[in-house]
Structure 1
Amino acid sequence: MVTELRVHGVTGSPAEDVLDRPLLRRVAGDTDAGFFRPRAEYGAVTGPGGATLEAYRWGNLTAGAAARALWLLLLPFMLANVALWLRPATRPGPRAAIRALTRIYALSMTGSFVLAFAEISMDLVGWQCAALSRCPQGRWYLAPLADGFFATTSRRLALTALVPALAIAFLWFLGRRTWSRYEAFPVATEGDGDGLAHPCFWNGAPLVGRLRSLHIAFAFATLDAVLLGILVPRDRHPAGYVLAAATALILLTCIVAVAVRPVVDRDNPTRWARPLTRLLSHTAVGLTVVVLGYALLARDPWTATGRMPVLGGTVTGLFAVQVVLMLVLGAVVLASRPRGTFLQGLAGPLIASAGLGVAVAFAAGLAYRVADFLDRRALPSTPDYAAGPALEPPPAYEWAAAGFVLLLLLTALVAIVGGLPLVRRLRRYARVVTDADFRGGRERDAARARRIDRAVADSLVTDHIGRMLVWVFIPSAVAAMAATGFALAGRRPIRLAESGSAAAEALSFAVNLGTYLIGLSAFALVLIGVLAYRYQRFRRIVGVLWDLGTFWPRAAHPLAPPCYAERVVPELAKRASWLAAEQGGVILSGHSQGSVLAAATVLQMPAEAQARTALLTYGSPLRRLYARFFPAYLGDPMLEQVGAVLARPRQEPGQHTPRWVNLWRDTDPIGGPVASPTARDVRLVDPPGFGIAPGDTVFPKVDGHSGYQLRPEFGAVVSGLVRDLTSPPPRPEAPADAGPLPQVPA
């Protein structure tokens, strides 16, 4: 008996909806990811062609807990990790350079995370607020900073340094917990491979463990460097210099380690790689304890004035290094990309730069809101900069606030100047599609035809979003480099104009507006995450971002949201192989993101199971999104290989019948044809009818990305695949030495 195993997409649809059956039982898996079938005692256990129905629900891996809202705050880490997989198909040399640059950039993002917490707790609270008599006044929780043991400057810094230390410890705990839950699915051997067909591509545990140790060591060493950067120049004590040298050695070792192959290669890591990374993390923790103890020693008192030295320059300097890394990464990609690569192969640098922008925006928004609160809601920027605010975040954050306003204006400008003409062109094309599908319909009901035109045109916008992002990115990158130069020079935005002038007022307004907007954006992101736990509508919004970003293993940033596919793909491959070999055959039926999981699963199945397997995809982003943005992993070779391992020989020598069928619609904004010679694309007309059907009162609905299983064409395709799997193979008339089906390289 053939089983149709359905895999849902990013919305986390219930198994009841996937199978269109109300009463199910779990036959394998657990509450996070399980396999469900209709209950036999109520009948209706089979689908089209007599196939046994089964659904795999993996949605709880990504949307099953309210804690998912916290993961959204680590969006910069996720974007840094995805950037590694966005590289074009290149030669081994540039490939190694791209990986090294991306991993160094991801390590720097961990440093930015630490500096953001250090700025708030150590600078704003421990240094600036505690030095102002009116700031701790009436606030019992700040009393220890003004009186008692922690009243001295060095001890205040040691106390407030516990906040970033606890944040690092929480990331460490979260990383270990998710690693054991998501990436610890048993895999026989270790290995990396450079394609989804590699038997250990989804075995991320070894590499994640080593990278996590390096990032934790770098995080604690960054905190130590901030604290020692204040104390050592003032103390000039040999013990301080020794601690500073040890801190610098850990930082340098972490930077080198994430870039060298013996440590980060999953194929053949050196035997000392894991002991080295563990030693670094444990040494960094011990060093932090010693540094905190050093800061608690008795010293001659000194008064903290202005901003905390070192930190502001460190924040700006690190941002400048990250900008340079992105420029170098872009240059390497441009020099090594194949001709005709989507977005010139710059998708990785674009996404990484977006992650950097989000990180700086989050840090600036939080810093300014804390400064407003501590300073009794004083404005962060005033036109009369001679007076200046009492509490000042670093100049880089002020530039980030102004840049956020500029980014919004650029986005609106691109949408108006480029988006509106684009929509008009797409609607002209949509008229051709509508008129071809429903001949004479426009003459009968022009309004109905226009609604269908809009559905087709709106779905085509997806194909142009990448280019529109480039239009926003280029001027934003130029502005970011200019702002970095001003910030390195210590110049704030309002100092570009004369104090008290109209230009200074405009710049001050832009900065103040930016601080509130980025703070509101961070709050809205958390709110959406919480609402996603309770409401299906918000879960769809979060689910698309989450599921697409966490499909890839954590090979660049180990503290990013966990990779659900490292459990889903091996689990699906094991279940599908059993169904194919022991139960008569299996049709892997994947919708949307489920089609990507199903295709990856096919490549992980043994050859004897692939011979009894067919693939049905619908609403699939494989060609439209993944092949464009991830050409090195989901490009033409991989798509051809998926169909090639499933193809059924025909009577004619060298001819094969595809066992991969893909359904798509013009109104689907996500799915499209796979356009592979080893697959068969079937286009569905949507909506299914133009006018109101007899006996009905409303027009047929435009389904877009949903409802594929409810169409009669879906049942016909499944029935055909069932017949193909159950019919005996044809006897080849070719000579016995005609040769096997050629394999497409990964």
Structure 2
Amino acid sequence: MVTELRVHGVTGTPAEDVLDRPLLRRVAGDTDAGFFRPRAEYGGGAGAGGVTLEAYRWGNLTAGAAARALWLLLLPFMFANVAIWLRPDVGDRARTAIRALTRVFALTMTASFVLAFVEISMDLVGWQCAALPRCLQDRGYLSVLADGTFATTSRRLAVTALIPVLAIAFLWFLGRRTWARYEAYPITTEGDGDGLAHPCFWNGRPLVGRLRSLHIAVAFATLDAALLGVLVPHDRHPAGYVLAAVTAVILLAGVVAVTLSAVVHRDTPAAWAKPFTRTMSHAAVVLTGLVIGYACLTRDPWTARDRLPAFSGTVTVLFAVQVLLMLILGGVVLATRPKGTVLLGLAGPLIASTGLGVAVAFAAGMAYRVADFLDRRSLPSTADYDEGRLVIEPPPAYEWAAAGFVLLLVLAALVALTMGLPMVRRLRRYARVVTDADFRGGRQRDAARARHIDTAVADALVTDQVGRMLVWVFVPAAAAAVVATGFALLGLRPIRLAASGSAAAEVTSTVVNLGTYLIGLSAFALVFIGILAYRYQRFRRIVGVLWDLGTFWPRAAHPLAPPCYAERVVPELARRTGWLAAEQGGVILSGHSQGTVLAAATVLQLPPEAQARTTLLTYGSPLRRLYARFFPAYVNDAVLARIGAVLARPEDGVLDAGQHSPRWVNLWRDTDPIGGPVQAPTARDVRLVDPPSFDIAPGDTVFPKVDGHSGYQLRPAFGAAVAGLVTVLSGASDEPPTVSNPSAPSISSAP
């Protein structure tokens, strides 16, 4: 008996919806990821062609538990990790350079995370607030900073340094917990192949462990550097210099280690790599304890003034280093990318820069809101207050972040108006051609119905145009970031670029103040989204779309990013599919949306004997439309061709040019904004007309709806494809039946 094993896409679709059956039982797996079949006692367990229906539900790995909404706070880490997989298909030397630069950038993102907590706890609370009586007034919970044992400046810093310590410890705990849960699925390490076909591709556990130790070491060392940067210049004591030297060694060793193949090679690291990285993390913990102890020593009276010494410069220099890394990474990509690469091959730097922007916005937004609360004021910027009055204020570099946030919003609006509107008109014209070809004479019968279908087709095509618009937003924004970084390194604030009291100064002040409110709003919006995702399952599923797409790839750059669910899903699917193929008569691996990516990766991991008893049905697939464009080093023509080729049996013969494999069928629609044809020589692309008919069906009162990205399995063409693949597995035919509309233009010809 052939089994149709369905794999859902993003948002954690319930197994009942995947199979369109109300009563199911779990036959394998667990509550996070399980295999379900209809209950035999209620009937309805068979599908098209007499197949046994089975669904694999993996959604709880990403969007099922409410607590996972906390991962929203680590969006920058996820962006930094995805960036390493977005590289173009380049040579070995360029690939090594891109990986090294991305991993160093990911390390700096961990440092930025620590400095954000240092700013709030040590600078705003421990240094600035504790020195102002009006900040401590009527705030008993801050009394420990003004009286008793911890009343001295250095001890206040030691107490407030515990907040970043707890934040790092939480990251460490979270990293180890997810490491044990997601990356611990047992897989084989034997076999050959490369990329997605490599048997060790989904075995990220050892690499994540080594990278996590390095990031934790650098995190603690960053905190130590911030604390010693205040104490050492004041004390000028040999012990302080020794601690500072050890801190510098750990920071430098961490940066060098993430670039060494002996440490970060996934499959064959050096024997000393694991002990070395563990020693680094443990040494950093011990060092932090010594530094905090050093801060608690008795010192002469010491008055805190202005902002935390050297901290503003540290934040600015770190941001400058991150911008420089992105510029170098972009230069390497542009110099080595193949011709025709989407977004000029800059998808990786763009995504990494987005992560940096989110991190800066979150840090600046939270810092300004905490400063406003502590200082009991309404204006967040120092641009328009009396400078003779002492205030609690974040570093001046954050004012550039606030102004840049406003600039980014303005650029996005301008691009949407100047490029978006003409693009929409152009896509609508193309959509009319598709609609008129599918429903001849329909526009004359009902123009409003035709326009509705035009809109669906045009909206689906926007996916192919968004990348071009993003370039026009990010390139000017990147140039502005470079200029702003230069001004910040020179110690200039935005307000100082205009004459005092001038109209330009007033405008600049307004922009900065508006920006601080907007980035603060964005930070709180992120937290609010997490709260909604915690409370409401439907909203949690929407948030889950982001995680499903962003956490498909293993944690190869940032080990503290949200975990990779595919490191469990693909090996588990491969094991189940192999068993069904060998023991149950054959498998139709049926995937929708992101499930098609998982199914394709599973096919490449199957043993040859299981591949011979497996066929592939994909629908709403982003393999060509998204993955091949943005991840060309891992999903490309060769990989797509191989997916269909490995399914062929010896009796199928060798496929000639232009022939299609009888074992891989892909369904797609023009109204689907995510899926499309896979355009592989070993796959048969079947275009479905959507909606299924133009007019209201006899006996009905409403028009057939436009399904877009959903409802593929409810169409007759889906059942025909399944029945055809069953026939192929039984050896009775070489070609499954197809449903197509050759008169309609292909999506690949869209403007």
2:207–2:264 Cα contact (<8 Å) kept:
yes
Within the alignment, does 1:545 sit opposite 2:549 as a pair? no
Output the CA distance in 2 between the equivalents of 1:233 and 1:651: 77
Q: Secondary structure at the match of 2:616?
A: strand
In structure 2, the residue matched to 1:724 is 728
Output the CA distance in 1 between the equivalents of 2:228 and 2:646: 59
Q: Secondary structure at the match of 2:633?
A: helix
Q: Secondary structure at the match of 1:632?
A: coil
In structure 1, the residue matched to 2:670 is 666
1:380–1:389 Cα contact (<8 Å) kept:
no
- Deviation, 1:533, is 4.1
Q: Secondary structure at the match of 2:55?
A: strand
- Deviation, 1:647, is 2.8
Output the CA distance in 1 between the equivalents of 2:434 and 2:386: 60
Output the CA distance in 1 between the equivalents of 2:534 and 2:315: 35
* Deviating more after overlay: 506-515 vs 140-149: 506-515
Alignment of 1:201-240 (within 5 A): 201-240=201-240
1:109–1:356 Cα contact (<8 Å) kept:
yes
Output the CA distance in 2 between the equivalents of 1:652 and 1:542: 46
Within the alignment, does 1:642 sit opposite 2:646 as a pair? no
Within the alignment, does 1:505 sit opposite 2:509 as a pair? no
Q: Secondary structure at the match of 2:531?
A: helix
1:648–1:659 Cα contact (<8 Å) kept:
no
- Deviation, 1:17, is 0.5
- Flag structure 2 segments of 5+ consecutive residues without an equivalent: 735-751
Q: What amino acid sits opposite 2:546 in the alignment?
A: L
Output the CA distance in 2 between the equivalents of 1:267 and 1:624: 30
Q: What amino acid sits opposite 1:630 in the alignment?
A: F
Structure 2 vs 1, CA of residues 694 and 579 (structure 1 numbering), >3 Å: closer, same or farther? same
Structure 2 vs 1, CA of residues 333 and 9 (structure 1 numbering), >3 Å: closer, same or farther? same
In structure 2, the residue matched to 1:304 is 304
Alignment of 1:51-90 (within 5 A): 51-90=51-90
Q: What amino acid sits opposite 1:703 in the alignment?
A: D
* Alignment partner of 2:689 out of 685, 689, 695: 685
In structure 2, the residue matched to 1:740 is none
Q: Deviations over 1:273-317 (max 9, x none)?
A: 000000000000000000000000000011111011111100000
- Deviation, 1:527, is 2.1
- Deviation, 1:351, is 0.4
- Deviation, 1:378, is 3.7
Q: What amino acid sits opposite 1:4 in the alignment?
A: E
Output the CA distance in 1 between the equivalents of 2:535 and 2:138: 39
Alignment of 1:510-549 (within 5 A): 510-549=511-550
Q: What amino acid sits opposite 2:9 in the alignment?
A: G
Q: What amino acid sits opposite 1:360 in the alignment?
A: V
1:384–1:499 Cα contact (<8 Å) kept:
no
Q: What amino acid sits opposite 1:300 in the alignment?
A: D
Alignment of 1:325-474 (within 5 A): 325-381=325-381, 382-384=383-385, 386-387=387-388, 390-474=391-475
Q: Secondary structure at the match of 2:207?
A: helix
Q: Secondary structure at the match of 2:4?
A: strand
Output the CA distance in 1 between the equivalents of 2:203 and 2:174: 19
Q: What amino acid sits opposite 2:277 in the alignment?
A: T
Structure 2 vs 1, CA of residues 427 and 385 (structure 1 numbering), >3 Å: closer, same or farther? farther
Count of residue correspondences: 730
Output the CA distance in 1 between the equivalents of 2:62 and 2:404: 32
1:650–1:657 Cα contact (<8 Å) kept:
no
Q: Secondary structure at the match of 2:197?
A: coil
Structure 2 vs 1, CA of residues 659 and 113 (structure 1 numbering), >3 Å: closer, same or farther? same
- Deviation, 1:385, is 6.1
Output the CA distance in 2 between the equivalents of 1:553 and 1:63: 17
* Deviating more after overlay: 526-535 vs 581-590: 526-535
Q: Deviations over 1:567-599 (max 9, x none)?
A: 000000000000011110001100000000000
Structure 2 vs 1, CA of residues 551 and 155 (structure 1 numbering), >3 Å: closer, same or farther? same
Output the CA distance in 2 between the equivalents of 1:560 and 1:652: 45
Q: What amino acid sits opposite 1:676 in the alignment?
A: A
1:383–1:499 Cα contact (<8 Å) kept:
no
2:188–2:199 Cα contact (<8 Å) kept:
no
Output the CA distance in 2 between the equivalents of 1:49 and 1:258: 53
- Deviation, 1:389, is 6.4
- Deviation, 1:209, is 0.1
Within the alignment, does 1:179 sit opposite 2:185 as a pair? no
Within the alignment, does 1:258 sit opposite 2:258 as a pair? yes
In structure 2, the residue matched to 1:484 is 485
Output the CA distance in 2 between the equivalents of 1:533 and 1:146: 38
Output the CA distance in 2 between the equivalents of 1:723 and 1:699: 35
Q: Secondary structure at the match of 1:617?
A: strand
Q: What amino acid sits opposite 2:289 in the alignment?
A: V
* Alignment partner of 2:707 out of 703, 708, 712: 703
Q: Tell me the TM-score normalized by structure 2.
A: 0.95
Q: Deviations over 1:608-642 (max 9, x none)?
A: 00000000000010000000000000111111110
In structure 2, the residue matched to 1:118 is 118
1:11–1:543 Cα contact (<8 Å) kept:
yes
* Deviating more after overlay: 279-288 vs 521-530: 521-530
Output the CA distance in 1 between the equivalents of 2:723 and 2:390: 72
Q: What amino acid sits opposite 2:475 in the alignment?
A: I
In structure 1, the residue matched to 2:633 is 632
2:82–2:550 Cα contact (<8 Å) kept:
yes
Q: Secondary structure at the match of 1:55?
A: strand
* Alignment partner of 1:714 out of 686, 699, 718: 718
1:572–1:601 Cα contact (<8 Å) kept:
yes
Q: Deviations over 1:328-374 (max 9, x none)?
A: 00111111111111111110001001100110000000000000000
2:153–2:304 Cα contact (<8 Å) kept:
yes
2:645–2:661 Cα contact (<8 Å) kept:
no
Structure 2 vs 1, CA of residues 476 and 504 (structure 1 numbering), >3 Å: closer, same or farther? same
Structure 2 vs 1, CA of residues 387 and 429 (structure 1 numbering), >3 Å: closer, same or farther? farther
In structure 2, the residue matched to 1:243 is 243
- Deviation, 1:515, is 1.5
Q: What percent of counterpart residues are identical? A: 79
- Deviation, 1:692, is 0.7
Output the CA distance in 2 between the equivalents of 1:172 and 1:491: 37
1:172–1:216 Cα contact (<8 Å) kept:
yes
Output the CA distance in 1 between the equivalents of 2:53 and 2:193: 34
Q: Deviations over 1:490-530 (max 9, x none)?
A: 11111212233322222122112111211211222222233
- Deviation, 1:412, is 0.7
Within the alignment, does 1:567 sit opposite 2:571 as a pair? no
In structure 2, the residue matched to 1:283 is 283
Output the CA distance in 1 between the equivalents of 2:695 and 2:392: 66
Q: Secondary structure at the match of 1:186?
A: coil
Structure 2 vs 1, CA of residues 348 and 388 (structure 1 numbering), >3 Å: closer, same or farther? farther
Output the CA distance in 1 between the equivalents of 2:671 and 2:299: 71
Q: Secondary structure at the match of 2:201?
A: coil
- Deviation, 1:565, is 0.3
1:193–1:267 Cα contact (<8 Å) kept:
no
Superposition RMSD on alpha carbons, in Å?
1.5
Q: What amino acid sits opposite 1:723 in the alignment?
A: T
2:727–2:733 Cα contact (<8 Å) kept:
no
2:64–2:541 Cα contact (<8 Å) kept:
no
Output the CA distance in 2 between the equivalents of 1:723 and 1:392: 72
Structure 2 vs 1, CA of residues 654 and 560 (structure 1 numbering), >3 Å: closer, same or farther? closer
- Deviation, 1:729, is 8.6
Q: Tell me the TM-score normalized by structure 1.
A: 0.96
Q: What amino acid sits opposite 2:111 in the alignment?
A: G
Output the CA distance in 2 between the equivalents of 1:117 and 1:135: 19
Output the CA distance in 1 between the equivalents of 2:637 and 2:389: 58
Q: Deviations over 1:65-97 (max 9, x none)?
A: 222221011000000000000000011110000
Alignment of 1:316-327 (within 5 A): 316-327=316-327
* Deviating more after overlay: 348-357 vs 642-651: 642-651
Structure 2 vs 1, CA of residues 270 and 520 (structure 1 numbering), >3 Å: closer, same or farther? same
